[in-house]
Protein backbone atom coordinates (compact mmCIF):
# COMPACT_ATOMS: atom_id res chain seq x y z
CA UNK A 1 0.00 0.00 0.00
CA UNK A 2 2.87 2.36 0.70
CA UNK A 3 3.29 4.32 -2.47
CA UNK A 4 6.45 4.81 -4.42
CA UNK A 5 7.69 8.35 -3.98
CA UNK A 6 9.54 10.40 -6.56
CA UNK A 7 11.01 13.75 -5.48
CA UNK A 8 12.10 16.63 -7.67
CA UNK A 9 15.08 18.69 -6.50
CA UNK A 10 17.26 21.44 -7.90
CA UNK A 11 18.04 25.08 -7.35
CA UNK A 12 15.41 27.80 -7.92
CA UNK A 13 14.25 28.62 -11.45
CA UNK A 14 15.53 25.51 -13.17
CA UNK A 15 11.92 24.54 -13.82
CA UNK A 16 11.02 22.11 -11.02
CA UNK A 17 7.47 23.20 -10.58
CA UNK A 18 6.90 23.33 -14.34
CA UNK A 19 8.15 19.77 -14.60
CA UNK A 20 6.06 18.74 -11.60
CA UNK A 21 2.91 20.11 -13.18
CA UNK A 22 3.70 18.46 -16.49
CA UNK A 23 4.13 15.06 -14.91
CA UNK A 24 1.09 15.48 -12.70
CA UNK A 25 -1.17 16.52 -15.55
CA UNK A 26 -4.35 18.38 -14.78
CA UNK A 27 -5.91 17.91 -11.41
CA UNK A 28 -8.26 20.37 -9.86
CA UNK A 29 -9.11 20.13 -6.22
CA UNK A 30 -10.72 22.09 -3.45
CA UNK A 31 -7.53 21.75 -1.47
CA UNK A 32 -5.49 23.53 -4.07
CA UNK A 33 -8.07 26.26 -4.38
CA UNK A 34 -7.46 27.23 -0.79
CA UNK A 35 -6.11 30.77 -0.67
CA UNK A 36 -2.84 31.53 1.04
CA UNK A 37 -0.97 28.70 -0.61
CA UNK A 38 2.10 30.28 -2.10
CA UNK A 39 2.96 27.50 -4.43
CA UNK A 40 0.12 25.49 -5.84
CA UNK A 41 1.14 21.95 -5.35
CA UNK A 42 3.99 20.11 -3.75
CA UNK A 43 2.56 16.62 -3.62
CA UNK A 44 0.42 14.78 -6.12
CA UNK A 45 -0.46 11.45 -7.61
CA UNK A 46 1.03 10.61 -10.97
CA UNK A 47 1.17 7.68 -13.33
CA UNK A 48 3.43 6.51 -16.12
CA UNK A 49 2.93 3.35 -18.17
CA UNK A 50 0.50 1.99 -15.63
CA UNK A 51 2.80 2.60 -12.67
CA UNK A 52 1.38 4.81 -9.99
CA UNK A 53 3.56 6.94 -7.82
CA UNK A 54 3.47 10.08 -5.76
CA UNK A 55 5.47 13.09 -6.72
CA UNK A 56 6.97 15.71 -4.41
CA UNK A 57 8.21 19.10 -5.52
CA UNK A 58 10.75 19.87 -2.83
CA UNK A 59 11.15 23.39 -4.20
CA UNK A 60 7.74 24.14 -2.74
CA UNK A 61 8.96 23.46 0.79
CA UNK A 62 10.41 26.81 1.62
CA UNK A 63 12.24 27.76 4.78
CA UNK A 64 11.87 31.45 4.28
CA UNK A 65 14.17 32.60 7.06
CA UNK A 66 17.08 30.50 5.80
CA UNK A 67 19.77 31.43 3.29
CA UNK A 68 19.19 29.99 -0.16
CA UNK A 69 22.08 27.55 0.04
CA UNK A 70 20.68 26.09 3.25
CA UNK A 71 17.24 25.79 1.72
CA UNK A 72 18.53 23.95 -1.31
CA UNK A 73 20.49 21.58 0.88
CA UNK A 74 17.49 20.91 3.12
CA UNK A 75 15.30 20.27 0.10
CA UNK A 76 17.79 17.71 -1.13
CA UNK A 77 17.73 16.11 2.34
CA UNK A 78 13.95 15.88 2.16
CA UNK A 79 14.24 14.09 -1.17
CA UNK A 80 16.79 11.70 0.28
CA UNK A 81 14.62 11.01 3.33
CA UNK A 82 11.30 10.68 1.59
CA UNK A 83 11.82 9.43 -1.92
CA UNK A 84 12.55 6.15 -3.66
CA UNK A 85 13.80 7.92 -6.76
CA UNK A 86 15.05 11.49 -7.10
CA UNK A 87 14.93 13.68 -10.18
CA UNK A 88 17.64 16.34 -10.12
CA UNK A 89 16.72 19.20 -12.42
CA UNK A 90 19.39 21.43 -13.94
CA UNK A 91 19.10 24.19 -16.53
CA UNK A 92 20.84 23.87 -19.89
CA UNK A 93 20.81 27.65 -20.34
CA UNK A 94 22.98 28.24 -17.26
CA UNK A 95 25.25 25.25 -17.47
CA UNK A 96 26.54 23.71 -14.25
CA UNK A 97 26.55 26.01 -11.24
CA UNK A 98 28.13 25.60 -7.80
CA UNK A 99 24.74 24.89 -6.33
CA UNK A 100 24.14 22.12 -8.87
CA UNK A 101 27.43 20.53 -7.91
CA UNK A 102 26.73 20.70 -4.21
CA UNK A 103 23.32 19.10 -4.57
CA UNK A 104 24.71 16.45 -6.92
CA UNK A 105 27.35 15.50 -4.35
CA UNK A 106 24.79 15.21 -1.61
CA UNK A 107 22.55 13.03 -3.72
CA UNK A 108 25.45 10.92 -4.91
CA UNK A 109 26.47 10.16 -1.33
CA UNK A 110 22.93 9.16 -0.38
CA UNK A 111 23.01 6.12 -2.67
CA UNK A 112 19.45 6.81 -3.74
CA UNK A 113 18.72 6.36 -7.43
CA UNK A 114 18.97 9.75 -9.14
CA UNK A 115 17.80 10.63 -12.63
CA UNK A 116 19.32 13.78 -14.07
CA UNK A 117 16.94 16.01 -16.03
CA UNK A 118 18.51 18.78 -18.10
CA UNK A 119 15.66 21.20 -18.54
CA UNK A 120 14.93 23.98 -21.03
CA UNK A 121 16.23 21.99 -23.98
CA UNK A 122 13.59 23.66 -26.09
CA UNK A 123 15.12 22.97 -29.48
CA UNK A 124 17.25 20.19 -30.97
CA UNK A 125 20.37 22.40 -31.30
CA UNK A 126 20.54 22.57 -27.53
CA UNK A 127 20.88 18.82 -27.26
CA UNK A 128 24.64 18.85 -27.74
CA UNK A 129 24.99 20.99 -24.62
CA UNK A 130 23.70 18.28 -22.36
CA UNK A 131 26.89 16.23 -22.41
CA UNK A 132 28.63 18.69 -20.08
CA UNK A 133 26.29 17.47 -17.36
CA UNK A 134 27.90 14.03 -17.28
CA UNK A 135 30.50 15.66 -15.08
CA UNK A 136 27.98 15.81 -12.23
CA UNK A 137 28.64 12.12 -11.82
CA UNK A 138 24.98 11.12 -11.85
CA UNK A 139 25.01 9.21 -15.11
CA UNK A 140 23.12 9.95 -18.29
CA UNK A 141 21.56 13.42 -18.56
CA UNK A 142 18.03 13.39 -19.98
CA UNK A 143 17.19 16.45 -22.09
CA UNK A 144 13.70 17.78 -21.44
CA UNK A 145 11.67 20.85 -22.14
CA UNK A 146 9.12 21.06 -19.37
CA UNK A 147 7.39 24.00 -20.94
CA UNK A 148 6.86 22.15 -24.20
CA UNK A 149 6.45 18.70 -22.68
CA UNK A 150 9.36 17.27 -24.69
CA UNK A 151 11.55 14.41 -23.47
CA UNK A 152 9.34 13.47 -20.55
CA UNK A 153 8.78 9.94 -21.81
CA UNK A 154 12.44 8.98 -21.73
CA UNK A 155 12.89 10.70 -18.39
CA UNK A 156 9.97 8.85 -16.81
CA UNK A 157 11.09 5.55 -18.32
CA UNK A 158 14.36 6.02 -16.49
CA UNK A 159 12.54 6.96 -13.29
CA UNK A 160 10.29 3.91 -13.17
CA UNK A 161 13.19 1.61 -14.04
CA UNK A 162 14.54 2.56 -10.61
CA UNK A 163 11.37 1.77 -8.69
CA UNK A 164 11.81 -0.68 -5.83
CA UNK A 165 10.41 -4.09 -6.67
CA UNK A 166 8.45 -4.99 -3.59
CA UNK A 167 5.08 -3.53 -2.89
CA UNK A 168 5.50 -3.29 0.85
CA UNK A 169 2.92 -3.31 3.62
CA UNK A 170 -0.78 -3.17 3.34
CA UNK A 171 -1.44 -6.79 2.55
CA UNK A 172 -2.75 -7.65 6.01
CA UNK A 173 -6.29 -6.78 6.94
CA UNK A 174 -5.59 -4.62 9.95
CA UNK A 175 -7.21 -1.22 10.18
CA UNK A 176 -4.65 1.34 9.06
CA UNK A 177 -4.97 4.75 10.61
CA UNK A 178 -2.87 7.85 11.03
CA UNK A 179 -2.85 11.00 13.10
CA UNK A 180 -2.31 14.05 11.00
CA UNK A 181 -2.16 17.73 11.69
CA UNK A 182 -0.03 20.80 11.97
CA UNK A 183 3.25 20.78 13.87
CA UNK A 184 2.76 20.92 17.66
CA UNK A 185 -0.91 20.00 17.82
CA UNK A 186 0.21 16.98 19.83
CA UNK A 187 0.39 14.13 17.32
CA UNK A 188 3.50 12.50 18.78
CA UNK A 189 2.12 12.81 22.28
CA UNK A 190 -1.14 11.20 21.18
CA UNK A 191 0.67 8.41 19.38
CA UNK A 192 2.58 7.58 22.54
CA UNK A 193 -0.41 7.95 24.83
CA UNK A 194 -2.64 5.76 22.66
CA UNK A 195 0.01 3.10 22.28
CA UNK A 196 0.66 3.25 26.02
CA UNK A 197 -2.86 2.02 26.57
CA UNK A 198 -2.67 -0.82 24.08
CA UNK A 199 -1.01 -4.16 23.78
CA UNK A 200 1.48 -3.50 21.02
CA UNK A 201 2.23 -6.64 19.06
CA UNK A 202 4.70 -5.56 16.44
CA UNK A 203 6.79 -2.50 16.21
CA UNK A 204 8.73 -2.57 13.03
CA UNK A 205 11.36 0.01 12.50
CA UNK A 206 12.11 -0.13 8.84
CA UNK A 207 15.64 0.09 7.60
CA UNK A 208 15.43 3.32 5.73
CA UNK A 209 14.53 6.66 7.16
CA UNK A 210 11.81 7.28 4.65
CA UNK A 211 9.68 4.39 5.83
CA UNK A 212 7.42 5.49 8.58
CA UNK A 213 7.36 3.49 11.74
CA UNK A 214 4.16 1.51 11.69
CA UNK A 215 2.98 0.02 14.93
CA UNK A 216 0.44 -2.75 15.34
CA UNK A 217 -1.80 -3.41 18.27
CA UNK A 218 -4.93 -5.35 19.07
CA UNK A 219 -7.91 -3.71 20.73
CA UNK A 220 -11.43 -5.03 20.97
CA UNK A 221 -10.34 -8.16 19.06
CA UNK A 222 -9.37 -6.10 16.05
CA UNK A 223 -5.91 -5.46 14.71
CA UNK A 224 -4.83 -1.89 14.11
CA UNK A 225 -1.82 -0.47 12.31
CA UNK A 226 -0.86 3.01 13.30
CA UNK A 227 0.79 4.65 10.33
CA UNK A 228 3.20 6.94 12.06
CA UNK A 229 3.74 10.33 10.65
CA UNK A 230 4.37 12.26 13.74
CA UNK A 231 7.21 10.10 14.83
CA UNK A 232 10.90 10.13 14.21
CA UNK A 233 11.78 13.74 14.40
CA UNK A 234 15.28 14.01 13.13
CA UNK A 235 17.19 16.39 15.26
CA UNK A 236 18.74 19.32 13.50
CA UNK A 237 16.68 19.20 10.37
CA UNK A 238 15.31 22.63 9.73
CA UNK A 239 12.43 21.56 7.56
CA UNK A 240 10.78 19.41 10.24
CA UNK A 241 8.71 22.27 11.54
CA UNK A 242 7.78 23.97 8.31
CA UNK A 243 4.12 23.81 7.46
CA UNK A 244 4.67 22.77 3.87
CA UNK A 245 6.69 19.78 4.98
CA UNK A 246 3.99 18.88 7.50
CA UNK A 247 1.43 19.11 4.73
CA UNK A 248 3.42 16.87 2.45
CA UNK A 249 3.96 14.28 5.19
CA UNK A 250 0.27 14.40 6.02
CA UNK A 251 -0.74 13.75 2.44
CA UNK A 252 1.57 10.76 2.31
CA UNK A 253 0.11 9.32 5.49
CA UNK A 254 -3.46 9.93 4.37
CA UNK A 255 -2.86 7.97 1.18
CA UNK A 256 -1.54 5.14 3.28
CA UNK A 257 -4.46 4.97 5.75
CA UNK A 258 -8.01 3.68 5.93
CA UNK A 259 -8.97 6.08 8.69
CA UNK A 260 -7.53 9.54 9.22
CA UNK A 261 -7.54 11.26 12.60
CA UNK A 262 -7.36 14.97 11.95
CA UNK A 263 -5.81 16.43 15.10
CA UNK A 264 -6.67 19.99 16.11
CA UNK A 265 -5.27 22.01 18.96
CA UNK A 266 -8.10 23.15 21.24
CA UNK A 267 -5.91 25.91 22.55
CA UNK A 268 -5.25 27.49 19.16
CA UNK A 269 -8.50 27.02 17.30
CA UNK A 270 -8.61 26.22 13.60
CA UNK A 271 -5.94 27.37 11.18
CA UNK A 272 -5.62 27.38 7.41
CA UNK A 273 -3.31 24.37 7.39
CA UNK A 274 -5.82 22.35 9.42
CA UNK A 275 -8.37 22.92 6.69
CA UNK A 276 -5.93 22.09 3.99
CA UNK A 277 -5.02 18.77 5.55
CA UNK A 278 -8.62 17.84 6.35
CA UNK A 279 -9.66 18.77 2.82
CA UNK A 280 -7.11 16.41 1.38
CA UNK A 281 -8.38 13.55 3.56
CA UNK A 282 -11.92 14.26 2.42
CA UNK A 283 -10.93 14.32 -1.23
CA UNK A 284 -9.00 11.12 -0.88
CA UNK A 285 -12.29 9.55 0.22
CA UNK A 286 -10.93 8.45 3.59
CA UNK A 287 -12.90 7.90 6.75
CA UNK A 288 -12.21 10.83 9.07
CA UNK A 289 -12.37 11.47 12.81
CA UNK A 290 -11.74 14.96 14.16
CA UNK A 291 -9.67 14.82 17.33
CA UNK A 292 -9.57 17.99 19.39
CA UNK A 293 -6.44 17.64 21.53
CA UNK A 294 -5.18 19.67 24.51
CA UNK A 295 -8.70 19.87 25.88
CA UNK A 296 -7.09 20.11 29.34
CA UNK A 297 -5.85 23.59 28.45
CA UNK A 298 -9.34 25.01 28.08
CA UNK A 299 -10.09 26.70 31.37
CA UNK A 300 -13.55 27.02 32.87
CA UNK A 301 -15.06 24.42 30.62
CA UNK A 302 -18.78 23.95 30.94
CA UNK A 303 -21.43 22.20 28.88
CA UNK A 304 -21.41 25.04 26.37
CA UNK A 305 -17.69 24.94 25.66
CA UNK A 306 -17.87 21.67 23.80
CA UNK A 307 -20.98 22.68 21.88
CA UNK A 308 -19.35 25.95 20.85
CA UNK A 309 -16.23 24.22 19.65
CA UNK A 310 -18.31 21.65 17.79
CA UNK A 311 -20.22 24.42 16.04
CA UNK A 312 -16.97 26.11 15.09
CA UNK A 313 -15.67 22.89 13.56
CA UNK A 314 -18.91 22.20 11.70
CA UNK A 315 -18.80 25.69 10.32
CA UNK A 316 -15.15 25.62 9.25
CA UNK A 317 -15.17 22.09 7.88
CA UNK A 318 -18.54 21.93 6.19
CA UNK A 319 -17.58 19.15 3.82
CA UNK A 320 -16.67 16.97 6.84
CA UNK A 321 -20.16 16.97 8.33
CA UNK A 322 -19.98 13.16 8.52
CA UNK A 323 -16.87 13.11 10.73
CA UNK A 324 -17.33 12.41 14.44
CA UNK A 325 -15.57 14.78 16.84
CA UNK A 326 -13.81 13.69 20.01
CA UNK A 327 -12.29 15.97 22.65
CA UNK A 328 -9.17 14.52 24.23
CA UNK A 329 -5.97 15.27 26.06
CA UNK A 330 -2.73 13.46 25.46
CA UNK A 331 -1.54 14.71 28.85
CA UNK A 332 -4.47 13.76 31.10
CA UNK A 333 -5.44 10.88 28.77
CA UNK A 334 -9.03 12.01 28.82
CA UNK A 335 -11.18 9.85 26.44
CA UNK A 336 -8.16 8.34 24.68
CA UNK A 337 -9.42 4.89 25.52
CA UNK A 338 -12.41 5.47 23.23
CA UNK A 339 -10.31 6.09 20.16
CA UNK A 340 -9.75 2.52 18.91
CA UNK A 341 -13.46 1.73 19.10
CA UNK A 342 -14.29 4.90 17.20
CA UNK A 343 -11.74 4.07 14.51
CA UNK A 344 -13.22 0.62 14.17
CA UNK A 345 -16.72 2.01 13.79
CA UNK A 346 -15.92 4.48 11.05
CA UNK A 347 -13.79 1.87 9.29
CA UNK A 348 -16.69 -0.55 9.28
CA UNK A 349 -18.95 2.16 7.92
CA UNK A 350 -16.49 2.91 5.14
CA UNK A 351 -16.59 -0.76 4.16
CA UNK A 352 -20.33 -1.22 4.54
CA UNK A 353 -22.17 -2.76 1.61
CA UNK A 354 -25.85 -2.13 1.07
CA UNK A 355 -27.97 -4.61 -0.84
CA UNK A 356 -29.45 -3.12 -3.99
CA UNK A 357 -33.00 -4.01 -3.00
CA UNK A 358 -32.66 -2.23 0.35
CA UNK A 359 -31.00 0.76 -1.28
CA UNK A 360 -33.78 1.06 -3.84
CA UNK A 361 -36.46 0.95 -1.16
CA UNK A 362 -34.76 3.95 0.42
CA UNK A 363 -34.39 5.79 -2.89
CA UNK A 364 -38.02 5.22 -3.86
CA UNK A 365 -39.25 6.40 -0.45
CA UNK A 366 -37.04 9.46 -0.79
CA UNK A 367 -38.49 10.28 -4.20
CA UNK A 368 -42.04 9.74 -2.98
CA UNK A 369 -41.46 12.14 -0.08
CA UNK A 370 -39.76 14.78 -2.19
CA UNK A 371 -40.50 14.45 -5.91
CA UNK A 372 -37.73 14.91 -8.42
CA UNK A 373 -37.32 18.43 -9.85
CA UNK A 374 -38.01 19.56 -13.41
CA UNK A 375 -35.86 21.85 -15.48
CA UNK A 376 -37.34 23.58 -18.54
CA UNK A 377 -40.28 21.25 -18.42
CA UNK A 378 -38.13 18.16 -18.26
CA UNK A 379 -38.46 16.03 -15.16
CA UNK A 380 -35.61 14.11 -13.59
CA UNK A 381 -36.33 10.41 -13.36
CA UNK A 382 -34.42 8.22 -10.98
CA UNK A 383 -34.65 4.59 -12.04
CA UNK A 384 -32.52 2.72 -9.56
CA UNK A 385 -29.26 2.73 -7.65
CA UNK A 386 -26.58 0.24 -6.82
CA UNK A 387 -23.45 0.26 -4.70
CA UNK A 388 -20.32 -0.25 -6.75
CA UNK A 389 -17.49 0.25 -4.25
CA UNK A 390 -16.47 0.62 -0.63
CA UNK A 391 -13.84 2.87 1.01
CA UNK A 392 -15.62 5.12 0.37
CA UNK A 393 -19.07 3.67 -0.27
CA UNK A 394 -19.89 4.62 -3.84
CA UNK A 395 -23.33 4.42 -5.39
CA UNK A 396 -24.27 4.67 -9.03
CA UNK A 397 -27.69 6.22 -9.53
CA UNK A 398 -29.26 5.59 -12.94
CA UNK A 399 -31.32 8.49 -14.24
CA UNK A 400 -32.90 9.71 -17.48
CA UNK A 401 -30.57 12.71 -17.71
CA UNK A 402 -27.69 13.40 -15.27
CA UNK A 403 -27.89 17.16 -15.95
CA UNK A 404 -31.35 17.25 -14.41
CA UNK A 405 -30.00 16.06 -11.06
CA UNK A 406 -28.90 19.28 -9.41
CA UNK A 407 -26.58 19.49 -6.49
CA UNK A 408 -29.40 20.10 -4.03
CA UNK A 409 -31.30 17.00 -5.05
CA UNK A 410 -28.16 14.93 -5.02
CA UNK A 411 -27.51 16.25 -1.53
CA UNK A 412 -31.03 15.30 -0.53
CA UNK A 413 -30.56 11.73 -1.75
CA UNK A 414 -27.23 11.48 0.03
CA UNK A 415 -28.86 12.63 3.25
CA UNK A 416 -31.66 10.11 2.87
CA UNK A 417 -29.12 7.33 2.35
CA UNK A 418 -27.24 8.52 5.43
CA UNK A 419 -30.43 8.54 7.47
CA UNK A 420 -31.26 5.01 6.47
CA UNK A 421 -27.80 3.54 6.95
CA UNK A 422 -25.13 4.55 9.40
CA UNK A 423 -22.24 5.99 7.43
CA UNK A 424 -20.86 8.11 10.24
CA UNK A 425 -17.23 8.97 9.61
CA UNK A 426 -17.06 8.15 5.93
CA UNK A 427 -17.70 10.23 2.83
CA UNK A 428 -20.08 8.62 0.37
CA UNK A 429 -19.96 9.19 -3.35
CA UNK A 430 -22.96 9.34 -5.65
CA UNK A 431 -22.33 8.89 -9.34
CA UNK A 432 -25.18 9.83 -11.67
CA UNK A 433 -25.37 7.87 -14.85
CA UNK A 434 -27.72 7.92 -17.82
CA UNK A 435 -29.59 4.67 -18.16
CA UNK A 436 -28.90 3.09 -21.51
Q: Which residues are annotated as a binding site for GTP?
A: 10-17, 57-61, 119-122, 181-188, 228-232, 293-296
With beta carbons less than 8 A apart as the criterion, state whether 56 and 5 touch. yes
From 325, 303, 315, select the one nearest 270 (Cα to Cα): 315
With beta carbons less than 8 A apart as the criterion, state whether 324 and 342 touch. yes
Q: Which of 6, 7, 9, 14 binds ligand GDP (CB under 6 A)?
A: 14
Nearer to ligand GDP, 253 or 354 (CB): 253
Instruction: Return the SS3 of 385.
Output: strand
11 strand-pairing partners:
none
Nearer to ligand GDP, 328 or 343 (CB): 328
What residues numbered 223-282 form the site for ligand GDP, per CB under 6 A?
A: 230
- Quick one: DSSP state of residue 124? G
The CA distance from 389 to 95, in Å, is: 51
Considering the rule CB under 6 A, would residue 187 count as an interface residue with ligand GDP?
A: yes
Nearer to ligand GDP, 221 or 299 (CB): 299
What residues numbered 274-293 form the site for ligand GDP, per CB under 6 A?
A: 293
What residues numbered 310-369 form the site for ligand GDP, per CB under 6 A?
A: 329-331
Nearer to ligand GDP, 17 or 426 (CB): 17
Nearest distance from C-beta of residue 249 to ligand GDP, angstroms: 11
Nearest distance from C-beta of residue 369 to ligand GDP, angstroms: 45
- Quick one: DSSP state of residue 247? H
The CA distance from 222 to 348, in Å, is: 11
Considering the rule CB under 6 A, would residue 3 count as an interface residue with ligand GDP?
A: no
The CA distance from 411 to 18, in Å, is: 37
Nearest distance from C-beta of residue 181 to ligand GDP, angstroms: 6
Considering the rule CB under 6 A, would residue 393 count as an interface residue with ligand GDP?
A: no
Nearest distance from C-beta of residue 352 to ligand GDP, angstroms: 31
Nearer to ligand GDP, 18 or 387 (CB): 18
- Applying CB under 6 A, which part among 24-32, 123-131, 176-184, 204-212 lies near ligand GDP? 176-184
Show the DSSP H helices in 111-201 as ranges.
152-161, 187-196
- Quick one: DSSP state of residue 408? H
Q: Count the neighbouring beta carbons within 10 Å of the beta carbon of residue 263.
A: 27
Residue ranges with strand state E in 49-196: 51-57, 85-91, 114-119, 141-143, 175-180
Interface residues with ligand GDP (CB under 6 A)? 10, 12-18, 59, 119-120, 122, 145-147, 181, 183-189, 230, 293-294, 296-297, 329-331
Amino acid sequence: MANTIVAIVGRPNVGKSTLFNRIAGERISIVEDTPGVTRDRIYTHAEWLGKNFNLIDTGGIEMSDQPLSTQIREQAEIAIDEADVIILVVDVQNGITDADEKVAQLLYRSNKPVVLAVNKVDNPERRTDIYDFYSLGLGEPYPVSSVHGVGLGDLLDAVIKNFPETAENGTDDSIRFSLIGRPNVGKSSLVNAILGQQRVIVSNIAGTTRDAINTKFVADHREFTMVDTAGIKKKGKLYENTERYALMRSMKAIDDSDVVLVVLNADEGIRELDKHIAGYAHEAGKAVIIVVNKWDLIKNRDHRTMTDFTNLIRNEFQYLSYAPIIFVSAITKQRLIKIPKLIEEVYDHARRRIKSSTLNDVLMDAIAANPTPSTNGKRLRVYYGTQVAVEPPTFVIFVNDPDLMHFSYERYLENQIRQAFDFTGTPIHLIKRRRK
